[in-house]
Structure 1
């Protein structure tokens, strides 16, 4: 066997491999001898089939198997002998592309093919203690707890039939039929639908035009679907809804006391307040964690500069770019609507893809060097949590992950990433800064707007 390096540029390597016909034929004959005691052919006793006859019957399929094994083994040796870490699977200009491939299957011909490899870069890790990040801290106020408890009470407030016109806060039960350009549209009809006036649960203008309506009254509502409406065939279009008000209910009083807390499964109002406060604190902690993680990743990105495999960048970019175009299509928007061009957007998202790949490689290197691992039990618990998000379908979800290695890897990867982040935060210079709720979420809102 001859292996000749034919290219070395950046992280790409190319080799020409030639395996002699004698080597292939010897391996094929050995395989046929193995089959001799296994196959059953009419007219021959078990184990007594002549090898020459086996070759006539199975020769091409055996040689095809030997070629595949040889290619895989040879590629493995190239990687091992050069100490490569592959970014992607080898790209082979295989023997099947040879016009004389069928002749090769007959034996007596050298196997020659080209293999292209893209390898992972050698990463020099920086000093993590040089990274400084600021952790925002928000104290949960009693006023916030009061507001949250009140929202819970409002959501559980009793309603009673009301005589007279409806006002904000009242609940109407309606039937409606919608028209666009004089024609009914899919999803534009509903019966016994509850509408809470002032909740902004319907498209703009719908609830407002029902203020003052009484039970038994018919109203015609003129509205316009938002430009970003989910059903793109309706986005931005004017519509008319014929509405029949079937009943008007007014909200009743509700006492914030231990009895109310008991209806929610809490021992007392104080326990309910504690639960609400803990949930708000958990929300703030999650937002703070994301800010700290983002700052940490920015620090890693600034201190680690190296070439990344083009193939990995292409894969990441394709995934990001596909989602971008799907989102634009769903909203019936264009790049011009976003204040950019397709070419500029491509460049921006390619930079994002490159950053993601680089940071992924850095995190993987840190995890490997420091023996950071995710146990099978941790993965199992995460899958169970995902399954619980689909009541009644838990077994199907569990079976899907158990049968799909890629899906299981998608569970393991974020667990690994969070472990590496925790490891780095132990070493980095983390300082706490008290901020307001608005400051904590400001960047998130800015990013969503962008």
Structure 2
């Protein structure tokens, strides 16, 4: 076997392989001989069909079968001998495939990039410092009260936060439009569930009142025939309901896992949950800054095969998020909607893998268990969660990957200049939300350019 490898780009290789004709022809002859033993053909007894007839009838198919097997086997040998690390499957094409001639085929493949990590030294990373105050806990408990509130009909005019029971019908000009009407719909003013400007115009409305509301659909509205259009809604208010907040008593706190109804235990539990949430927000904010710096310092080529794998994964996530069903064919979703996000994820993954490898990072079973126990704290039966994770190799592998990623970020953080910034609980959560929205906008912008 003769092998030559050409470098066609940083991450693409073109392998040309030649296999002696005798090896292929002998394998084809042996395969035809075996096949002849079981061939039934009119005019001949089983196993007595002449080889010339067998070759004429089955020769092409058998040769294609043998050549396919030979190419796959020699391709694997070629990448092993040349220490190539393929990313995805190759494109293999036979360029010479004739009896009596050496078989020649070409395999074009992408390989994982060779990475020489550049330092992120000099990068300034802001690390929020936050403490959960008593007022933060009071505010959270008030939020929990609102989430568990009942609605009680009131005789007054509607205010922000009230729930209205309404009928409505939408018009473009004088014509009603499809999907623009409903009866007995419950709408909470200020929820943001309707078109911008709709809910605000219902403040002050009373039961039995009819109102005419004018709004303009956003330019990016999902229904293209309505995007940017001015519309009029005729609304009938049937009922105005205000929130009836529950008392913070033993009955209330038992809903949140405090079985004995102890108010101090409940408050302590809320504080722990908020502290954990704030800590996660801080870690994510720091991690995002570090990973952004890592990407900027290391522009690496990314194999298209890996981008496509990640794109397919994002498609499945999107289908699940929007409730499209398990039978939905995700190939219907355009690749370009996810390609840039997928490329960025793959880049980060490759770079982090190199950080882990170059620093010989690892995670012990004790570290994995400790991480699982930390994750299990937010569940009502932590011991069952720990038992499930530790008994499932796939789940343990996922936890180990998360630990290694944390260790890699910590290693990178040693190269950066860390500046502590005091923030309130609300500020750090708001900053995390803004970062998430900014990332979404950036991905959308990149996708639109693509």
TM normalised by structure 2 equals 0.69
The aligned residue for residue 276 of structure 1 is: 270
Gaps of 5+ in 2: 316-335, 376-393, 442-450
Q: Distance in 1 between matches of 2:74 and 2:160?
A: 76
Superposed CA RMSD:
4.3
Corresponding residue number in structure 2 for 1:150: 142
Alignment of 1:347-358 (within 5 A): 357-358=346-347
Distance 2:278 2:57 in 1: 71
CA distance in 1, matches of 2:410, 2:38: 60
Q: How big is the shift at 1:86?
A: 1.9
CA distance in 2, matches of 1:418, 1:204: 40
8 Å Cα contact 1:131/1:428 also seen in 2: no
Equivalent residue in structure 2 for 1:242, among 226, 229, 234: 234
Question: Per-residue deviation at 1:285?
Answer: 2.2
Unaligned runs of 5+ in 1: 323-345, 386-408
Whether 2:168 is the aligned partner of 1:179: answer: no
Counterpart Cα distance in 2 of 1:371 and 1:47? 62
Q: 1:76 to 1:440 in 2, by over 3 A?
A: same
C-alpha contact 1:131 1:429 (8 A) present in aligned 2: no
Deviations 1:336-368 (A, max 9, x none): xxxxxxxxxx9xx97x88765544323334556
- 1:293 CA drift (Å): 2.1
In the other structure, the counterpart of 2:301 is 308
- Partner Cα distance (1:199, 1:66) in 2: 66
Give the structure 2 partner of residue 60 of structure 1. Answer: 60
Matches within 5 A, 1:170-249: 170-249=162-241
The answer (yes or no) to whether the contact 1:128–1:427 under 8 Å persists in 2 is no
User: 1:306-359: CA deviations, max 9, x gaps?
Assistant: x53564687599889x9xxxxxxxxxxxxxxxxxxxxxxx9xx97x88765544
Q: CA deviation at 1:145?
A: 1.5
Distance 2:44 2:362 in 1: 58
Q: 2:77 aligns to what? A: 77
Sort the Cα spacing of 1:190 and 1:266 in 2 relative to 1 into closer, same or farther, 3 A: farther
Q: Distance in 2 between matches of 1:412 and 1:185?
A: 53
Aligned length: 384
Q: Is the partner of 1:94 in helix, strand or coil?
A: strand
Distance change in 2, residues 1:295/1:209 (3 Å): closer
- Shift of the alpha carbon at 1:241? 1.1
Change (3 A) 1:47 1:355: same
Distance 1:362 1:161 in 2: 58
How far the C-alpha of 1:26 sits from its partner, in A, is 0.5
| CA pair 265-187 structure 1, distance change in 2 beyond 3 A | farther
Q: Secondary structure at the match of 1:160?
A: strand
